[in-house]
Structure 1
Amino acid sequence: MGTLDGKVAWVTGAGTGIGRAGAEALAAAGATVVLSGRRAAVLDQVAEDIVAHGGAVEVEPLDVADKEAVIKAADRIYGRNRHVDILVNSAGLNLPKRHFNDVSLEGFEHVVQVNLNGMFYCIQAVLPAMRAHKDGLIINISSWAGRYDTYMTGPAYNATKHAVVSLTNSLNIEECVNGIRACCICPGEAATEIMKNRPVPPSKEDLGRMLQADDLGRTIRFVAEMPPHACVNEIVISPTWNRIILGASDLARR
């Protein structure tokens, strides 16, 4: 018997990185996991791996920036499962050209559309049923940059990740009366695919010192396994060797 047996968890950004690790961790705890992301082939591979380890999984390809697609995806998920107990909003991105001196208007809007609007669309898609059941957990992946402003990540990423923290707080303020709880996870540097979009990608040695995707998967599972009367409002987690504080050369103002 798993701690999350009978639960349905919808995970966005589930093809790689934190989303994938969270999906795998929730499946290992017994939840039926619905994988969403833009690349169907990548999701299929994640699903195969979860099934190979005895997990239950569904694949629902989705671009969270498309609000109509989010509504349709949610309808299909509820049609198959009748309930979503856990939503993990892990879809997010940043740009190589991310600072005021080189970010485009289109690039800025794209970051906002995915990191903030897409998260809101998914939350709105699950809230009515969660309210009806008087139960539900929403886990939003923010960033160290959502709690502490940094030069490295640029204005669009900083602004959206700060907004994710506020969005999560607003959920707890308004929806606690409906048995719904929300957690914002703010990771420091994590060795995931998003590192490839850095203006100067970190070295292999530095990647090894960062948080690993599985660390965040364990964190997501920890939050999901807390009892319904306990709300973990926010988790800030960073590598022990915190390059943002120490001042790595590839993070410096250029």
Structure 2
Amino acid sequence: MKSYLVFGASKGLGDAFVRGVPEQGDKVWVVSRSRPESLDLIDGVQRIWIQADLSELNAATIVTDQLKNEPLDVLIYNVGIWEKEGFEDHYTFDKDEPADISHLIHVNITSTIVCIQALLPHLRQSAAGKIILIGSTAGLNNANSTQVSFVASKFAIRGITEALREHTRHDGIAVTCINPGELAAEIPYEEGPDRALATSDGTRIPLQDMVSIVRCIVNLSKAACVKEINMPALTDMNT
């Protein structure tokens, strides 16, 4: 049996992790602002909701207060916001407001560091702890994105992963960064990969593929560490 903590778990990719990664008998702490529907599943997995807003400075304290002294085997950090209308054709960095930039950096970078720091004592109780951070192909070289703050934050996730891996090496905690391309995140996990592929004409990655990658990492022995996985959509191989 394993214990998990998943951030950003109320919908999309985070919801897919909560539904698809754990096995019967496992326990999952589900961190999100709104109540996730996955709590209603009856599949032999114990799911416990921690209501927290990662834009708030006390989010890490809220999470650790709920955990008390519980050990964690796997931490999946799946958090990321982007610029307003950042994926629209008319978007321009010139019009980003300083307050919005600051908010994005706090949620995508500062909260990541602070929350993981607070959870290290719980991960150190595991015989083979694992931390998995979800980045983006936007954080890779030559990604051709003009979203300056978002791209900076995704490069930062890779930097956090590198330094954190060295910090936790002596604890036997493996740290991995997964950088997916465009996901079919609007198609609920329970509707299956075929629906996701059909909706996007095969141009976006089904959530099931990400779940498969994470399950593989989780099931590796404590001797192995996957440093980084870059997973663009096949139609976006310039990344």
- State the TM-score bracket (shorter-chain normalisation): 0.7 to 0.9
Q: Could you say which residue in structure 1 is the equivalent of 2:81? A: 93
- Structure 1 residues 227 and 131: CA distance shift in structure 2, 3 A: same
Counterpart among 220, 229, 236 of residue 223 in structure 2 = 229
State the Cα deviation string for residues 5-46 of structure 1 (Å, max 9, x = none).
Answer: 1x1100001011111111112223653111111112xx1x12
Distance in 2 (CA, whole Å) between partners of 1:182 and 1:162 is 16
1:15-34 aligned at under 5 Å gives the runs: 15-28=10-23, 30-34=25-29
Partner in structure 1 of residue 152 of structure 2: 159
Post-superposition offset of 1:133: 5.0
Match of 1:61 among 46, 51, 58: 51
- Which runs of no fewer than 5 residues in structure 2 stay unpaired? 87-91, 187-197
2:47 is paired with a residue whose SS is strand
User: 2:32 aligns to what SS in structure 1?
Assistant: coil
- C-alpha distance in 2, partners of 1:67/1:221? 31
Q: Is the 8 A contact 2:25 2:44 kept in 1?
A: no
Number of matched pairs: 223
**Is 1:138 aligned with 2:131?**
yes
Q: AA paired with 1:22?
A: F
Offset at 1:163? 0.5
The Cα offsets for residues 137-171 of structure 1, whole Å up to 9 and x where unpaired, read as 11000000112343436011100000000100111
Given candidates 183, 190, 199, the residue that maps to 1:190 is 183
Return closer, same or farther for 1:88/1:130 CA change in 2, 3 Å cut-off: same
On the 8 A contact 1:34/1:58 being kept in 2, the answer is yes
Q: Structure 2: how far apart are the matches of 1:186 and 1:20? A: 18
For residues 81-140 of structure 1, give each alpha carbon's deviation from its aligned partner in whole angstroms, at most 9, with x where no partner exists.
x21111110021112344421211111112111111121122111112333556421100
2:124 is paired with a residue of what secondary structure?
helix
Residue 13 (structure 1) aligned to one of 1, 5, 8? 8
Q: Does 1:102 align with 2:92?
A: no
Distance in 1 between residues matched to 2:25 and 2:151, nearest whole Å: 35
* Corresponding letter in the other structure for 1:125: A
Structure 1 counterpart of 2:214: 220
Structure 1 vs Structure 2: percent identity of aligned residues?
26
How well do the aligned residues superpose, as a CA RMSD in angstroms? Answer: 2.2
Question: Which of 103, 123, 136 pairs up with 2:116?
Answer: 123
TM-score by length of 2: 0.85
Give the Å deviation of 1:238. Answer: 1.7
Higher mean Cα deviation, 14-23 or 68-77?
A: 68-77
Question: Contact conserved, 2:72 with 2:125, CA < 8 A, in 1?
Answer: no
Amino acid at match of 2:217: V
Pick one of 16, 31, 39 that aligns with 1:47: 39
Runs of 5+ consecutive residues of structure 1 not aligned to the other structure: 194-203, 247-254
One-letter amino acid of the counterpart of residue 44, structure 2: G
Contact 1:26 1:33 in 2 (8 A): no
Give 1:86's aligned amino acid. Answer: V
Q: In the alignment, is the contact (CA less than 8 A) between 1:97 and 1:103 conserved in 2?
A: no
Distance 1:96 1:129 in 2: 35
Structure 1 residues 33 and 216: CA distance shift in structure 2, 3 A: same
Aligned partner of 2:71 in structure 1 is: 83
TM-score, normalised by the number of residues in structure 1: 0.80
- Counterparts of 1:234-245 in structure 2, within 5 Å, are 234-242=228-236, 245=238
Conserved 8 A contact 2:137-2:180: yes
